Amino acid sequence: MGLFRLVTGLPGPSGFGSASTAEQVTDGIDASRLTVIITGGASGIGAETARVFALRGAHVIIAARNMSAANDVQQHILRCTPTAKVDVLKLDLSSLKSVRAFADQFLSLDLPLNILINNAGVMFCPYQLSEDGIEMQFATNHLGHFFLTNLLLDKMKTTASKTGIEGRIVNLSSIAHLNTYEGGIWFDNLNHKEVYSDKKAYGQSKLANILHANELSRRLKEDGANITVNSVHPGLIMTNLMRHSFLLMRVLKLFTYIFWKNVPQGAATTCYVALHPSLEGVTGKYFLDCNEENPSNLARDETLAEKLWDFSEKLVASTK
């Protein structure tokens, strides 16, 4: 049924489907009391997510590595919505030093934080280590977001407590989490060049996004925090994320065009999960085409999620 809905655009139980756009799923929602951070908001679905949040009245913080592109997006949003509140802060998720600096800068602004959208990422890049000595896709897609979320979590808890408004964290994953290394996460082979596969390393990082969301959701429920954490697959969209495999993706799209979305459709699931009132209290779930779906068995493995959390904490600590 999920494949049928994807191809036809037929709405699912939520009332939305693969053909829904970010504006459609947020129609009538007032976000004027909300502050949101969107990583990777300088292009693609991150930029569209930022535009729609600003359209709905939210104070948008675009966290981006490319400041020139981020400033262009900011100006575009202001042209579309002159009353929009949009700020740009520098963030390179492949650098834990940059993540710390971003968090310090944001916290110094003394703003509330209602929503964190962990959107940025890299895809299918050649083997490379980050400045912290960690495989680049894992470092950028998972570890940077893991560290960023932890640094901002107290602010989100305080905001939710003071305002009574539920906080929401959204991790952008991918259906690519199905294609990963044996056992899901290669803890012992993370940086080994000889066994590196750009496709499986990407899948590993996207599996980590779901496991991170699930484990954080569990911990926040134990704490009684008024914050939900969910993961989403935005769909197949031709964006700058595919720059390392542009030709391959072009050929793939030629034969699978009925499965692809445009950017406004690609941002829909993120905006739905982050803003829609029907999802109040819903946490630890995975969404596809604005509807809850079951991810892989590995993505639902609680032991693996806990092991990844401990592994990630040790990696962060080892870089200090």
Q: Give me the phi and psi of 284, to 5 degrees please.
A: 70, 25
The answer to whether residue 127 is catalytic is: no
- Residue 305 is predicted with a pLDDT of 98
Place of tokens 């009353």: 83
Query: Which tokens in the block code for residue 73?
Result: 């997006």
Q: Give the pTM.
A: 0.92
Q: Quote the CA–CA distance of 283 and 294 in Å, as a whole number.
A: 13
- Give the other-Cβ count within 10 Å of 320's Cβ: 7
**Domain parsing of the chain, residue ranges:** 2-318
Helix, strand, coil shares, percent, the chain, to 5: 50, 15, 35
pLDDT of residue 238: 54
Q: How far is CA 202 from CA 1, 120, 249, 280, 303, in A?
A: 27, 13, 15, 31, 21
| pLDDT score for 5 | 53
State the Cα–Cα distance between residues 138 and 150, nearest whole angstrom.
Answer: 17
DSSP states along 185-196: --TTSTT-GGG-
Number of neighbours of residue 302 by Cβ within 10 angstroms: 11
Looking at residue 263, its pLDDT comes to 93
pLDDT at 189: 92
pLDDT for residue 255: 44
pLDDT tens for the 320 residues of the chain, in order: 454 555 456 889 999 999 999 999 999 999 999 999 999 999 999 999 999 999 999 999 999 999 999 999 999 999 999 999 999 999 999 999 999 999 999 999 999 999 999 999 999 999 999 999 999 999 999 999 999 999 999 999 999 999 999 999 999 999 999 999 999 999 999 999 999 999 999 999 999 999 999 999 999 999 999 999 999 999 877 555 445 445 554 554 444 445 568 999 999 999 999 999 999 999 999 999 999 999 999 999 999 999 999 999 999 999 87
| Predicted pLDDT at 175 | 94
Active-site residue (options: 196, 202, 272, 286) = 196
**At CA 267, angle to CA 39 and CA 198, rounded to 5?**
65
Q: Which two tokens stand for residue 30?
A: 């007032």
Give me the CATH topology for the region 2-318.
Rossmann fold (3.40.50)
Strands 291-293 and 286-288: antiparallel
DSSP 8-state symbol, 168: E
